[in-house]
Structure 1
């Protein structure tokens, strides 16, 4: 395993593959952005700063490095950011400090990475408990600084205190961008999961491991999904699985001497439910900063939900979820193969959410995972593919192995694409591809990167890469499919007709502004205007004062009362022509 890296997991991109090659030369090249504010310039500066940072070459290596970082870290609540020097003075005699991060959520916190787990143990042995009997004497890597403030404001520490940028994405940030590709970059860099965000999520997992390790010394709480797949947002939830024994801990052990244990008295589901109930009780009673514990044990996949108050992270904990980890690896590899993949996925997901193509809760509509798979298939189907078919990325033990075979150990050995389209061209290509795709008769395979005859009558058929007999889009019904198809066509029309900076809402703004051109077929009108024609024809019952609240009319579903008579004559104005 390679040596630990100081900066891991930055999913950085450049505007195009050509820009990526220019930046990676390390010559300090900077792109000139005309009439751009410093707020818009920042994402490009981040690219230049991080593009040459060491990167893991496999999902397993990334995962191992992140877990090691988490177990070498402590979280300290402090009165304010200026007290970080006081924390540093308390810790430095006990071990070398590698990284310091500051963040705030109601209170201020310092996440400190030390040189080793042994150094962390020395810090914990030096800490004391409250003398208050009402305090439960739990020991964890979450600490509180209550004194030693003499050095506040008087001493500098030899390490930079890292923190996340305060700026969040606003649609107005896109106005002064140099082009559609630059707008997509801004959206991505303001929303993607940062290094600190990833560290905090792995830290939460490691803290749960600590609390359960007394009974299960080799247990592991493993994050999957958005935290590790390369497509996580800065505020994404933390999905975790609990494994009581990792197989690697059985290697080299004495087969003739076994631990005495108890036998399960019920089936696997019953055992899972009872075990999660016990874990939920431990979290609720003893784990610091874990609040709002909810037990959802009768779901198809039983889970525990809770919130980490310090990190402001919503958490879901389940038992072993092999498919979730496997899919996370698939997506991470794809996000690393080309720097345009993650920004394009972010953009499509954001567009879908703004235009209500998908929802936060499950239903008969397209999900984030389905949108990601659609982007992947488009990039594979391009005349010059941006990413290869998945079949080329794994190592079968024999020719008959299914897709559960391990991935290649070094994704950097995958041949680079010859495609030089920028992000803007790819986004338009995505909407054009699916606006004309034959969903009626063709299914899609990201394993082979090709289409095939659809085996059933589902509106959309997208082969599950982990089980080729399943359709990941099976839940989509016909009305939602028609809505999705219409959204593709509308987005393409808006991008093609608002591509220049002559309009108030140009480029990406034209498909992200709910009240602008990118309204996905929804017409925003004044209710008083709906009755103006009636009054002119002799009907005096309409409201004439003009003081009626604005309402949003959906041309596919009519207004909220289901009456479409007043808007039928305006339908053609809302629908783009192609």
Structure 2
């Protein structure tokens, strides 16, 4: 749901599809006319530079800050120190130095390896701060404090829902939800640090290796705790192929039936298992169209997907990041040309400062209206015959019979939603209709327990229960033809309707059966399922009740 709210940031749900900026949720406000747009490449370069001059150090607690700061500041200038905890309740501090050379000086002067016969020494930007031998060292007093404490902590459901309830309007709820759940500075820094860690280790094997986050981590749609998508590239630049240089590196030519990139990703997976501190649960998915290695990074608490040379994913992230314009394709210049290894054309305007002022403006609608229009539009959308195209801004005729067709902005011949089933598409249509009705019902201004966004959101504590209690939705999907006789007359409609629609008594009996079923659920075998509190119990009842209606 938060992804839908963040689409408002990019004005994907624009009134009449005209080109405009939303006056909320965007870094450039109406009063900022003198400022320039920041390009995607500039932001990526800035984050990469931060990662190159940073270290992540495991410490005993946040009270270790003074000692760690004093120890490292003797050797280099420190910009800031950020504190966070992982799910194991371990404490870490991300130290950003003034320059990359400062960071290297600290590593050379301060770092050491532990002697362990089962461990092969490795250099990495992830370290730990051990206790000082002998007497505790004393450092000069400093007025420096932590830039942030517990920087990756997510807001509790109860706190968030109470704040949402206390908002005056749905627009305020949308803004609050976005502010509370979006990726913050600490989370973004950690994602680039993980990429940097992999880059440092793989650089010893390959020339000109680069590992870069893409997807929701960088395109503006990410939320706290989302997965980290990484792409590994091994580009031979024009400078590396300079014909005037007579000494050329000997290289090993590939021989064999399998794709060389599958073999290389298999090697990278082994490196993750053997050489990357914090990497665990490594899974190889090498036979896919884009080979992927999945792993967990326990130090940063991130689930990661690493692929090779999938630059279309990076360019898609860039396109989504600045997708407020449909003019990006038409106004691209020579400097904007990007062609992937698979000859995919990813050319579009990168520098938004080149757009004429009359090509964009502020949207007059508030966030509540934009969200309602979004749900209303798709509640009436003809999914059976039409395809969704964010490039064209209008519905297109579907080229095949797939349930849901969303045109890939960079590869128009592909459907990005081809894995969606008919049942899931029907569920989507039902949910957007319900959401539109819900938002329309609160226009009278009365506040109830589920007013505004509260009626559209679910608590994290109930998501696993939904999976446990989920049953098929097909019995809720009634076709009109089922209510009529074969010749089209409504003679048998009453009997068929009675078979489909449950009476109140049947619903009560079904709910009673559901309660008995829940009682019998055992996890483990000797322990019965217990609810944490009455709120969870009510949520279980509501979920199952809705399934039976």
Instruction: Say if 1:403 and 1:465, in contact at 8 Å, map to a contact too.
Output: no
Instruction: Say if 1:82 and 1:153, in contact at 8 Å, map to a contact too.
Output: no
> 1:318/1:152 Cα in 2 relative to 1: closer, same or farther (>3 Å)?
farther
Q: 1:314 and 1:182 mapped to 2: Cα distance?
A: 31
Question: Once the two structures are superposed, what CA deviation does each residue of 1:282-334 show, in whole Å capped at 9, x if it has no partner?
Answer: 22122212222222333443222221111111111121112211211111122
Q: 1:250 and 1:203 mapped to 2: Cα distance?
A: 27
Q: Tell me which of 154, 166, 172 is aligned to 1:176.
A: 166
| Aligned counterpart, 1:90 | 71
Q: Does 1:225 align with 2:206?
A: no
Question: Once the two structures are superposed, what CA deviation does each residue of 1:220-242 show, in whole Å capped at 9, x if it has no partner?
Answer: 11211111111111101111122
- 1:8-407 alignment to 2 at 5 Å? 17-18=22-23, 57-105=38-86, 106-126=89-109, 127-148=111-132, 150=136, 155-158=141-144, 160-163=146-149, 164=151, 166=153, 167-169=155-157, 170-247=160-237, 250=240, 254-267=244-257, 269-334=258-323, 337=324, 387-388=325-326, 390-392=328-330, 394-395=332-333, 404-407=345-348
Instruction: Say if 2:70 and 2:139, in contact at 8 Å, map to a contact too.
Output: no
Shift of 1:488: 1.3
Q: 2:27 and 2:396 mapped to 1: Cα distance?
A: 39
After TM superposition, the score normalised by the length of structure 1 is 0.69
Structure 2, unaligned runs of 5 or more: 1-5, 12-20, 463-469, 477-501, 519-539
RMSD: 4.1
Question: Once the two structures are superposed, what CA deviation does each residue of 1:38-96 show, in whole Å capped at 9, x if it has no partner?
Answer: xxxxxxxxxxxxx9999871111111111111111111111111111211122223222
Q: 1:390 and 1:162 mapped to 2: Cα distance?
A: 38
Q: Tell me which of 448, 471, 485 is aligned to 1:503.
A: 448
How many residues matched?
Answer: 460
Structure 1, unaligned runs of 5 or more: 1-9, 27-50, 338-386, 524-529, 560-570, 572-578
2:280 match: secondary structure: strand
Q: 2:26 and 2:321 mapped to 1: Cα distance?
A: 21
| Aligned counterpart, 2:376 | 432
| Aligned counterpart, 1:410 | 351
> 1:477/1:409 Cα in 2 relative to 1: closer, same or farther (>3 Å)?
closer
1:314 match: secondary structure: strand
Q: 1:246 and 1:113 mapped to 2: Cα distance?
A: 30
| Aligned counterpart, 1:359 | none
Q: 1:329 and 1:75 mapped to 2: Cα distance?
A: 28
> 1:64/1:511 Cα in 2 relative to 1: closer, same or farther (>3 Å)?
same
Instruction: Say if 1:397 and 1:405, in contact at 8 Å, map to a contact too.
Output: no
2:56 match: secondary structure: strand
1:425 match: secondary structure: helix
Q: 1:542 and 1:194 mapped to 2: Cα distance?
A: 42
After TM superposition, the score normalised by the length of structure 2 is 0.73
Q: Which has the higher contact order (CA 8 A, sep 6+)?
A: 2
Instruction: Say if 1:521 and 1:555, in contact at 8 Å, map to a contact too.
Output: no
